[in-house]
Each structure stands twice: as structure tokens, then as C-alpha cells.
């Protein structure tokens, strides 16, 4: 176990040079206070959990101190925002501090979000507010605990530095961890600014650091794109199966590693609603829950366009063609598991689609449905869930078909319950739970955000005394309005 001062840096992205990023120092925030930290994320850096009690911890992650071997850089990228190309984005309020190498030899980017202005800040103040920092922290760690690929979060540090949004708020920083912070938009930037050498250097960097097995293939860049398509299909299948709505699927928010990335107005579905729009600024519903699948394909096409100088168009097209069938296969696989089915049958897709149609408009809590389905034997569970549905005849038909399918996964209820509870969370990061924790933190009480984080780090296990986190949201909690950057 290491102390904060023992971290070893190897800054591979910084070494790509000034065409890729600009050296910028963090601007500290005043009177830093540790709001919440993730011990699980600390272990990625081999950090001793006791280090959170060191005064240096909050100072480092509030920009007051810096490792001598860190090389803070603001990365340049561009991207398609709500379908329109924006030629110049980049780290406007975050810095890649450097890459820490752990004992296993893995590199982890340390990215400090809210670290002040950079050449890419445009008119922004370079800051992040406490509420958005807490939301990013909670979601990163909650998704990880659910087994959904995601960037991670080490901690949130709050401060007394004022920030103006719709009202005065306080600045905070969140320390994000990921093996890479390269986005689809990085490639788009070099493509649209006609810098083919940099485009290739970026691809080489990724091959060397993140896709080493693709390097061995006959067409390494094409193989890398295929891998990105495959991993994206898997990621989006997780989002759809677990009711996660990202909210801002701009191509600059899409990780090249296909991990959930850049948390804004995200939401987990409470009541099932295929058309749910979690981003209050998304007037047309471009990023609605069910649109996430075609939008992921759209973003991959935008990336493919940027790769045309490196890969034959026909090969790119063939790889893109893999997305939908792969997505569908992963999604069905996850849904079968959520339904407790052990084997696959051709009718499963229809079984899942019919269930979602019945849930639509019935105000059925999406994630609790699966938990309750596994809690009791099939017939008892179905009888108790029946009241939740508006179309009772439709539900009865579905329940009859599901019972037959469940019987073919012939095991006893103890095994079935354990199997289903292992994939169906009891605790979900609901918007209203995050909101309550944020309101307490804004008053200086960090207990609720720490408790919520602790509960969500073991989402499948029933935790004594934590029943309130497993309940359905109150009516007010279903309609919180959350918009883009803050």
C-alpha cells in the first residue's frame, strides 16, 4: 500500500506533445474539504485508504499541491454536439494531471475536473460546482459496482470558492480515473483540421497503450475500430438493460475505450419509460433512453469518418455493420440473466419486448421489478407484481409465457433467487437520492453522500438499516430537471 507521495507517474499522453495538449497548472479552490472518497478507486492506484485522513489528500485534489512528476495538460478535441459539428472543444475545465502506474503495471489517468480555465474554456469559468461533482462521483462508482464499464472517481473536494450558475454555488473538483481519456472527438479534431500525421500518431498511441492485440493484426487500425464497435455494443447493452440514460451522447463525451464517460444530466430510470429524456436541455429527445442505441451507432459512424485516412471505407462499413447484431445479442443475454433464464430460446426477444411494452405507461419501477421477480417463487412473484400493470390481460399472458420459460431453467427457488439477486440491484442511484445527498452536502453535511456511496458500492446485497435507499421514489423525486454542464 502506497502513500500519496509514493505514486509513480509515466505520462505517455503528455509525451505526444503540444499538438495534442497544452501544459496548464490547476488553479486551486479555497479552503478545500474532502467531501467523499472511494476506497475501491484508491486501490487502483495501490493507495492506502488511510491516506484520505492526510491533510495533503484534499490539497492535492483541490489543486493546492502537485506531484513533481505530474505533467498537467489540457487535451484538445472536437466533436458532434447534438448532431452538429463543433470544431473546437477540449478540456475546458479539467486537466489530465498525469498517468499513475500501479504495482500491476496498469496506467491510470488522473484527471482533475473543475481545475480552472484552459485554452479550451471558451467563455466558461473552468469550474465545476459541488452538485455536478458529486453526481459524477456517485455515478462512476455506482456503475462500476453494477459491473457496467465506466470511468472511476477517486474523490470530490469541496471549497468556499464561489461559482455563478443560475445562483451562486461553490466550486468543487472531482478526481476522475480512467485508463485513457481519449474520446471519439480526439480523432475528429485531427481529421477535420487536416492533420493526418497527428491522426496517425494518436492511433499509434492507442494501439501501443490500449489495444496491443490489435497491433498484431494485418490491419491494426481497422482491427482497433472493430474492437471499439464491439465494446460499444456491449456498453450500450448494459445501459439499456439496467435503465441507464446518459443524457449527452455527444461524440466528445464518448470514450475510445467504450466506458461510460462524462457524466452530466444522466439518470437511471425509475418508472420504465422508453422515451425518457433525462437532459432538460434536450428539447427534441435526441438522447432519449431508447435513442441511445441508434445514437451510439451514429457516433461510431462519426468516428469511422474521422478514421477514413487510416482505414479503407469498406472495412469501416463492415465493422459498423457489426454494431446492431452485437448489441442485440449482448442485450438479450443481459435481459435473460435479469429474468433468471438459464438458456436461450428464439422467443426471448419477443418476451422481453412484450414485458417492456406492458411496463410502458404502467408506472412500473424498472429495476425493482426484476428484484421482486427473483425474491419469491415464480408464481407468487408474478401474482404480487400483477397489480402494478394497467393491461392485466396482457400481463397474464406474459406471465403464463414467462412461467413456462422459467420452468425450463429448472432449479430451486433458493438458487434462482441468489442467481437473480446477483444481477438485479436492490439499490439504484436514483436522481432523488443523489439530490438529497447533494442538498445535505451543500449545507456542509457530507454524511448522506458518503452513506449513499457506501450503499451503492454493494448494490446487490441487502444492507441492514438501509431500506430507505431501496424504496420507490416519491412523486417529486421522479421529475427532477437536470441540464447539461454545470
Residues with a known catalytic role: 252
Q: Which is nearer to ligand AMP, 92 or 179 (CB)?
A: 92
Q: Pairing state of beta strands 79-81 and 84-86?
A: antiparallel
136 binding ligand AMP? (CB under 6 A) = no
Closest C-alpha to 70, from 103, 38, 110: 110
Closest C-alpha to 330, from 242, 460, 458, 422: 242
Output phi, psi for 231, to 5 deg: -70, -35
Q: Which residues contact 476 (CB under 8 A, 6 or more apart)?
A: 432
127 binding ligand AMP? (CB under 6 A) = yes
Select the span of 117-125, 135-143, 300-308, 472-480 touching ligand AMP (CB under 6 A).
Answer: 117-125
Shortest distance in whole angstroms from residue 234 CB to ligand AMP: 23
Select the span of 89-97, 370-378, 464-472, 475-483 touching ligand AMP (CB under 6 A).
Answer: 89-97
89 binding ligand AMP? (CB under 6 A) = yes
336 binding ligand AMP? (CB under 6 A) = no
Output phi, psi for 308, to 5 deg: -60, -30
Q: Which is nearer to Mg ion, 49 or 124 (CB)?
A: 124
Q: Which is nearer to ligand AMP, 19 or 484 (CB)?
A: 484
Q: Which is nearer to ligand AMP, 280 or 317 (CB)?
A: 280
Shortest distance in whole angstroms from residue 459 CB to Mg ion: 26
Q: What is the dihedral of CA 371, 269, 342, 331, to 10 degrees?
A: -170
Closest residue to ligand AMP: CB criterion: 124
Among the listed residues 36, 61, 71, 93, the single contact to ligand AMP using CB under 6 A: 93
Task: Dump the DSSP string for 195-256.
Answer: -HHHHHHHHHHHHHHT-HHHHTSSSHHHHHHHHHHHHHHHHHHHHHHHTEE-S---GGGSBT
Shortest distance in whole angstroms from residue 262 CB to ligand AMP: 5
Q: Which is nearer to ligand AMP, 102 or 121 (CB)?
A: 121
| Residues 203-242 as x/- pattern, contact with Mg ion by CB under 5 A | ----------------------------------------
What is the Cα–Cα distance from 22 to 24, expressed in whole angstroms? 6
Binding partner of residue 44 among Mg ion, ligand AMP, none, CB cut-off 5 to 8 Å per kind: none
Shortest distance in whole angstroms from residue 22 CB to ligand AMP: 13
Q: Which is nearer to ligand AMP, 93 or 371 (CB)?
A: 93
Angle, in degrees to the nearest 10, between helices 313-320 and 292-306 = 160
3-state secondary structure of 83: coil
40 binding ligand AMP? (CB under 6 A) = no
Output phi, psi for 330, to 5 deg: -65, -45
Q: Which of residues 232-271 bind ligand AMP (CB under 6 A)?
A: 248, 253, 262, 264
Q: Which is nearer to ligand AMP, 265 or 473 (CB)?
A: 265
Going from the C-alpha of 112 to that of each of 23, 29, 123, 128, the distances in angstroms are: 14, 12, 19, 10
253 binding Mg ion? (CB under 5 A) = yes
Closest C-alpha to 470, from 432, 436, 440, 427: 427
Going from the C-alpha of 246 to that of each of 55, 110, 139, 143, 243, the distances in angstroms are: 35, 22, 10, 12, 10
Select the span of 60-68, 246-254, 268-276, 303-311 touching Mg ion (CB under 5 A).
Answer: 246-254
Q: Which is nearer to ligand AMP, 125 or 401 (CB)?
A: 125
What is the Cα–Cα distance from 25 to 115, expressed in whole angstroms? 8
92 binding ligand AMP? (CB under 6 A) = yes
Going from the C-alpha of 287 to that of each of 276, 281, 293, 334, 434, the distances in angstroms are: 9, 10, 10, 22, 21
262 binding Mg ion? (CB under 5 A) = yes
Shortest distance in whole angstroms from residue 113 CB to ligand AMP: 9
90 binding ligand AMP? (CB under 6 A) = yes
126 binding ligand AMP? (CB under 6 A) = yes
Cβ atoms < 10 Å from Cβ of 404:
11
Select the span of 120-128, 137-145, 337-345, 375-383 touching ligand AMP (CB under 6 A).
Answer: 120-128
Q: What angle do CA 92, 244, 378 make, to 5 degrees?
A: 165
Shortest distance in whole angstroms from residue 361 CB to Mg ion: 33
Residues that bind ligand AMP (CB under 6 A): 89-93, 120-121, 124-127, 248, 253, 262, 264, 484-485
Residues that bind Mg ion (CB under 5 A): 253, 262
Amino acid at each position: 500500500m502506497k502513500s500519496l507521495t509514493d505514486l509513480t507517474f509515466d505520462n505517455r499522453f503528455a509525451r505526444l506533445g503540444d499538438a495534442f495538449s497544452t501544459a496548464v497548472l490547476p488553479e486551486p479552490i479555497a479552503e478545500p474539504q474532502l467531501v467523499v472518497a472511494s476506497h475501491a478507486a484508491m486501490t487502483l492506484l495501490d493507495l492506502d485508504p488511510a491516506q484520505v485522513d492526510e491533510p495533503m489528500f484534499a490539497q492535492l485534489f483541490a489543486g493546492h499541491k502537485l506531484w513533481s512528476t505530474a505533467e498537467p495538460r489540457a487535451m484538445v478535441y472536437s466533436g458532434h454536439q447534438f448532431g452538429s459539428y463543433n470544431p473546437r472543444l477540449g478540456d475546458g475545465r479539467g486537466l489530465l494531471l498525469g498517468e499513475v502506474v500501479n504495482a500491476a503495471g496498469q496506467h491510470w489517468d488522473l484527471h482533475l475536473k473543475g481545475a480552472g480555465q484552459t485554452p479550451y474554456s471558451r467563455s466558461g469559468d473552468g469550474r465545476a460546482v459541488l452538485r455536478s461533482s458529486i453526481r459524477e462521483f456517485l455515478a462512476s462508482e455506482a456503475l462500476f459496482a453494477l459491473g457496467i464499464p465506466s470511468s472511476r472517481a477517486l474523490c470530490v473536494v469541496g471549497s468556499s470558492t464561489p461559482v455563478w450558475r443560475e445562483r451562486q454555488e461553490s466550486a468543487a473538483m472531482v478526481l476522475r480515473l480512467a485508463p485513457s481519456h481519449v474520446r471519439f472527438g480526439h480523432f475528429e479534431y485531427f481529421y477535420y483540421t487536416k492533420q493526418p500525421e497527428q491522426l496517425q500518431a494518436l492511433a499509434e498511441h492507442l494501439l501501443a497503450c490500449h489495444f496491443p492485440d490489435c497491433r498484431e493484426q494485418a490491419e491494426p487500425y481497422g482491427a482497433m475500430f472493430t474492437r471499439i464497435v464491439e465494446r460499444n455494443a456491449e456498453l450500450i447493452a448494459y445501459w439499456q438493460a439496467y435503465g441507464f440514460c446518459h443524457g449527452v451522447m455527444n461524440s466528445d463525451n464518448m470514450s475510445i475505450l467504450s466506458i461510460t464517460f462524462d457524466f452530466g444530466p444522466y439518470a437511471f430510470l425509475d418508472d420504465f419509460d422508453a422515451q425518457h429524456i433525462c437532459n432538460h436541455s434536450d428539447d427534441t429527445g435526441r438522447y432519449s433512453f431508447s435513442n441511445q442505441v441508434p445514437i451510439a451507432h451514429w457516433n461510431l459512424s462519426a468516428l469511422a469518418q474521422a478514421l477514413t485516412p487510416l482505414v479503407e471505407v469498406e472495412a469501416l462499413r463492415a465493422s459498423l455493420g457489426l454494431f446492431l447484431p452485437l448489441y442485440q445479442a449482448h442485450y438479450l443475454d443481459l435481459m435473460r440473466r435479469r429474468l433468471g433464464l438459464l438458456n436461450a430460446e428464439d422467443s426471448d426477444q419477443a418476451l422481453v419486448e412484450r414485458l417492456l411494452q406492458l411496463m410502458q405507461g404502467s408506472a412500473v419501477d424498472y429495476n425493482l421489478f426484476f428484484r421482486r421477480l427473483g425474491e419469491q417463487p415464480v408464481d407468487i412473484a408474478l401474482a404480487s407484481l400483477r397489480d402494478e400493470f394497467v393491461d392485466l390481460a396482457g400481463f397474464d399472458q406474459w406471465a403464463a409465457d414467462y412461467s413456462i420459460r422459467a420452468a425450463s431453467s429448472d432449479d430451486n427457488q433458493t438458487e434462482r433467487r441468489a442467481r437473480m439477486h446477483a444481477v438485479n440491484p436492490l439499490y439504484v442511484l436514483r436522481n432523488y437520492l443523489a439530490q438529497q445527498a447533494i442538498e445535505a452536502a451543500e449545507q456542509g453535511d457530507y454524511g448522506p453522500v458518503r452513506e449513499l456511496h457506501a450503499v451503492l458500492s454493494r448494490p446487490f446485497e441487502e444492507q441492514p438499516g438501509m431500506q430507505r435507499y431501496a424504496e420507490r421514489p416519491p412523486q417529486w423525486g421522479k421529475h427532477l430537471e437536470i441540464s447539461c454542464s454545470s
